[in-house]
């Protein structure tokens, strides 16, 4: 026992010396909080070492006593020990603390960084939508341009004229190749605005396909080819689209742009990613206004 106490004291001195070496500055200042903290640290050290010594000593010298329980579940005997009072109180205390924590504690009332972030985002969103409640077309075009330059230009180019092999030219509404592509393959990308999609067309005569594609890509000028009748049922006789049935083929109206941005699009040129949740409705309208403005 004596040698262990001596060992303990040596350990304490070594730990205090180590602490002094690492954080010794705190002893010198006249900031009494630092000194109190150091004092507390030394006290904890001393108590820990002596309590540990006490139990090591007990483990070495104690012999078992008391009454054995009758059950022997695994062949090893167990003593009938009463629950230690401290343990019992701590157990009940934990339950009380748990109830407090669930009802009035941190989760319902406390500060949270995520909550603060959400709150600030909501405030700014509200400010944004009240500021731009009724924007003029010029405002929308300007707003659309700045959003476009950040979000869309990497693929569509700063002038929106497309980047070869990467994304389509948005200054012209539709190319001949993309009309031919949807006639052959159909298309069902814009599920939000046009849930039915477009099935591949029965149109097989090369001359018919050529006539209707040239007519649409050429901006609906000249005489309407007879084969456009197949398309008019969904895209309207004037090509300006029918809500929920077929999109406007003449210009980029709000609902087409919004649904491209929501659902993304996979076509003959490539894949346009979905921007769902990244743009608010005003920004989508602004982009549509900006893109329409390009063609004019």
Q: Which two tokens stand for residue 96?
A: 């009380």
Among 143, 179, 286, 294, binds ligand HEC (CB under 6 A): 179
CB 249 within 8 A of CB 239: yes
Out of 26, 42, 142, 201, which residue is the one contacting ligand HEC (CB under 6 A)? 201
In the chain, the N- to C-terminal Cα span, in Å, equals 97
Q: Taking CB under 6 A as the rule, does residue 174 contact ligand HEC?
A: yes
Residue with Cβ nearer ligand HEC (49 or 236): 236
Q: Which residues of 150-169 are buried (b: 16+ CB within 10 A; e: fewer)?
A: ebbbebbbeebebeeeebbb
Q: 156 near 144, Cβ under 8 Å?
A: no
Nearer to ligand HEC by C-beta: 8 or 267?
Answer: 267
Minimal distance, residue 283 CB to ligand HEC, in Å: 8
Please identify which residue in the block is written with the tokens 């077309």. 137
Binding-site string for ligand HEC from residue 231 to residue 270, where x marks contact by CB under 6 A and - marks none: x-xxx----------xx-x--x----x--xx---x-xxxx
Give which of 281, 235, 278 is closest to 254, Cα–Cα. Answer: 281
Is there a contact between 44 and 31 (Cβ–Cβ < 8 Å)?
A: no
Q: Which of 107, 197, 218, 281 binds ligand HEC (CB under 6 A)?
A: 197
* Alpha carbon distance 2, 9 (integer Å): 11
- The HSE-up count of residue 44 (CA atoms within 13 Å, CB side) is 7
Our CA angle for 145, 151, 156, nearest 5°, is 80
Q: Whole-number minimum distance, CB 207 to ligand HEC, in Å?
A: 13
Interface segment toward ligand HEC; rule CB under 6 A; list 21-29, 38-46, 59-67, 149-157: 149-157
Nearer to ligand HEC, 141 or 198 (CB): 198
Cα angle, residue 187 at apex, residues 184 and 189 outer, rounded to 5°: 160
Residue 49 or 247: the one with the smaller Cβ distance to ligand HEC is 247
Residue 151 as a binder of ligand HEC (CB under 6 A): the answer is yes
- The residues, any chain, with a CB within 8 Å of residue 45's CB and separated by 6 or more, are 12, 15, 16, 19
Residue 142 or 234 with smaller CB distance to ligand HEC = 234
Residues 98-117 that bind ligand HEC (CB under 6 A): none
Query: Sign (positive/negative) of CA torsion 244, 248, 251, 256?
Result: positive
Regarding 160 and contact with ligand HEC (CB under 6 A), the answer is no
- CB contact at 8 A, 247 and 235: yes
Q: Which region, judged by CB under 6 A, interacts with ligand HEC, from 31-39, 49-57, 66-74, 172-180?
A: 172-180
> According to CB under 6 A, which one of 211, 272, 286, 289 is a site residue for ligand HEC?
272
Residues that bind ligand HEC (CB under 6 A): 151-152, 154-156, 167-168, 170, 174, 178-179, 182-183, 187-190, 194, 196-198, 201, 203, 212, 216, 230-231, 233-235, 246-247, 249, 252, 257, 260-261, 265, 267-273, 275, 287, 291
């Amino acid at each position: 026992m004596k040698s262990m106490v001596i060992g303990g004291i040596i350990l304490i001195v070594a730990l205090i010396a180590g602490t002094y070496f690492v954080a010794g500055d705190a002893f010198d200042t006249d900031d009494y909080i630092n000194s109190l903290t150091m004092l507390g640290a030394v006290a904890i050290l001393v108590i820990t070492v002596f309590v540990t010594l006490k139990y090591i000593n007990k483990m070495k010298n104690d012999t078992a006593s008391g009454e054995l329980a009758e059950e022997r579940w695994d062949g090893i005997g167990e003593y009938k020990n009463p629950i230690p009072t401290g343990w019992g109180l701590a157990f009940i205390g934990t339950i009380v603390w748990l109830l407090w924590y669930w009802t009035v504690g941190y989760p319902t009332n406390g500060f949270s960084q995520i909550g603060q972030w959400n709150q600030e985002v909501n405030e700014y969103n509200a400010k944004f939508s009240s500021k731009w409640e009724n924007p003029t077309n010029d405002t929308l075009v300007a707003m659309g341009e700045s959003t476009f330059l950040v979000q869309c230009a990497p693929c569509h180019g700063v002038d929106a004229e497309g980047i070869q092999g990467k994304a389509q030219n948005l200054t012209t509404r539709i190319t001949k190749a993309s009309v031919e592509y949807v006639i052959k393959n159909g298309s069902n990308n814009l599920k939000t605005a046009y849930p039915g999609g477009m099935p591949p067309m029965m149109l097989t005569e090369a001359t018919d396909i050529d006539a209707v594609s040239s007519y649409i890509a050429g901006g609906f000028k000249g005489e309407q080819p007879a084969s456009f009748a197949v398309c008019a049922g969904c895209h309207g006789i004037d090509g300006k689209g029918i809500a929920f049935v077929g999109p406007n083929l003449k210009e980029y109206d709000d609902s087409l742009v919004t649904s491209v941005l929501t659902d993304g699009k996979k076509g003959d040129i490539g894949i346009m990613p979905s921007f769902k949740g990244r743009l608010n409705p005003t920004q989508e309208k602004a982009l549509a206004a900006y893109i329409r403005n390009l063609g004019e």
